[in-house]
Amino acid sequence: MPIHVGLYPSAYLFGLAVMVGTMLLASFFPARRAAHLSIVEALTHV
C-alpha cells in the first residue's frame, strides 16, 4: 500500500517566514542592547 505524501508550497513558505521572523527577533534584541553599551563594557561580556 503506497503512502501518499502531499507537498504544500504555502506550508513551506509559512514555515520559512516563521523561521526568518524568529531569527530576526532573536538577533535584534541582543544587538539593540549591545548597541547601548560602551565598547569596553561590551568586550567584558565576551
Instruction: Write out the three cell numbers for 9.
Output: 508550497
pLDDT the model gives residue 11? 93
What end-to-end distance do the CA atoms of the chain give, in Å?
A: 57
The closest of 21, 2, 18 to 10, measured between CA atoms, is: 18
pLDDT the model gives residue 21? 97
Amino acid at 20: V
- 34 near 42, Cβ under 8 Å? yes
pLDDT the model gives residue 35? 87
- Walk along the chain (46 residues) and give the pLDDT tens digit of each residue: 888 888 899 999 999 999 999 999 999 988 898 889 898 888 887 7
Amino acid at 12: Y
The residue ranges of every structural domain in the chain are: 9-43
